[in-house]
Amino acid sequence: MDASMKRTSSYSEPEGTAQLPRGRHGLSRQFVLDNQRERIVRAMVDTAAERGYAETAVADVIKRAGVSRKTFYENFKSKEACFLAAYDTVSGRLSTAAIQAYKSADDWTQGIRAALRACVEALVDDPAGARVAFVEILAAGPHALERYEASVRRFIPMIELGRSQAVHGPELPPRLAEEVIGGVSQAMYLKILEGDIAALEQSVDELLYFTLVPFIGHERARAIAFADCD
């Protein structure tokens, strides 16, 4: 895939999360509260990606966010609760970007390509978010694993539509879509774990082939996934 392709999604820091000026600023209380929460969440993403979830302390997060410990605990009851909120933010942006891209395509195969590209672009644009979404979430305990599994399941209906493209769709394994998603997630996890996130941009064609081939077979999957390479 062309590394210079136009960006269609981003995990970059949301607008409005910069630290507010001290003193009288004329901003509404709700705006201030929302801003503080967003800064805490972003600080958790960046700190957990940098230090690892286990080594991240509330003190690290509040220092990075520029808020008091009191403000932190007004928003989150624990480090775990804050981390899960951070994961929800990152994974929510990822799934929204993928689903919107999928819906913009003309057919299933091109929709899967668009969804994968949107995911990869989002991950490359925010390496810290990528680390949280695919690596640190797996090290944050059973509640985090449940949250991760739930986010992965969001994509099952999208992949499951490939059954209608298959010649013998009803005969395919019942959990095929889930297994395909697991494989794609594992491939992304390994790149991110190795610190080679940028290489994901070069992997979209391979990920597309891997996703398509169980449903439409080698020849069609290869022709669609590697069309620009021939």
Per-residue pLDDT reduced to its tens digit, 60-86:
999 999 999 999 999 999 999 999 999
pLDDT of 129 reads 96
Cα separation, 208 vs 226, in Å, equals 9
In three-state secondary structure terms, 185 is helix
Label residue 195 by pLDDT band (50, 70, 90). confident
Provide mean pLDDT across the span 25-49.
86
Provide mean pLDDT across the span 155-168.
92
Model-level pTM? 0.84
By the 8 A CB rule, do 208 and 112 touch? Answer: yes
Which range has the worst mean pLDDT, 10-14, 123-127, 143-147, 218-222? 10-14
pLDDT of 103 reads 95
pLDDT of 22 reads 54
Cα separation, 79 vs 59, in Å, equals 10
Cα separation, 113 vs 119, in Å, equals 10
Cα separation, 38 vs 84, in Å, equals 13
For residue 156, give every residue at least 6 positions away whose Cβ sits within 8 Å of its Cβ, in sequence order, or none.
Answer: 177, 178, 181
Q: CA of 169: how far to CAs of 62, 77, 214, in Å? A: 52, 47, 10
**Which comes out higher in pLDDT, residue 95 or 168?**
95
Residue in the block written with tokens 């695919």: 134
Helix (H) or strand (E) holding 22: none
DSSP 8-state code for residue 166: S
* C-alpha 41: how far from chain center: 15
Cα separation, 12 vs 122, in Å, equals 8
Burial state string for 174-189 with b = 16 or more CB within 10 A and e = fewer than 16 = eebbbebbeebbeebb
pLDDT of 4 reads 36
Residue 149 tokens, joined: 């599994």
Provide mean pLDDT across the span 184-196.
92
Label residue 33 by pLDDT band (50, 70, 90). confident
Mean pLDDT over the full length of the chain = 88
pLDDT of 10 reads 38
